[in-house]
Amino acid sequence: MAGLIAVQDEDSSKDPALAAILHDSRRRASRITMGMLLFMLSQCFVWYPIPLVVHAEDRRLPLSQHAWDNNSNYYPLSYTVQCVCGLYVSQISFALDCLFASILILVVAQLKILGERILKLKQEVIPVEANENPRRWDQIPTDKHYDGMFRRLCVCIDSHQKILRYVSG
């Protein structure tokens, strides 16, 4: 993802609007990840002690009961192992989900930045040709203005292809 961001980083650093898109996406990805992981961590303080509080005499385990011995042997060890494993697995599961969500947020930001760059190219073309008759693309003169625009358009196309390759691969 860092390589994908680096492709458009030069344009993003020059334009405050593009930098804001990137900054907002990074902040949103970070917040959703931290929020979900902290939420799951907080659930262990609610979920795991409930069997100890509600029916302590029944020696219930937080996740799964041992039907073969009625939770009578190794109860503290079983309770601890279930709590630690449950916390570990839930954090891994949510971390992977948050990773994919964060990647999607960052990819969408890259597509927004690309869209803004293309709109800026369009805005450069319109003022130059506003007073002239409409021309086809193959009739546009190859002066410095159009050469620079053509190069920037090629960079935009290359960026788009890299984004698509990243998403599909």
Instruction: Return the SS3 of 3.
Output: helix
Percent of the chain with pLDDT over 90: 30
Average pLDDT, integer, range 103-117:
94
Instruction: Return the SS3 of 61.
Output: coil
Predicted TM-score (pTM) above 0.85: no
Average pLDDT, integer, range 137-156:
71
What pLDDT, in 10s, does the model give residues 33-77?
A: 999 888 888 888 888 899 888 888 888 888 888 877 777 788 889
List the chain domain ranges.
2-168
Question: How far is 106 from 91, CA to CA, in rounded Å?
Answer: 22
pLDDT for position 135: 53
pLDDT tier at 136 (50, 70, 90 boundaries)? low
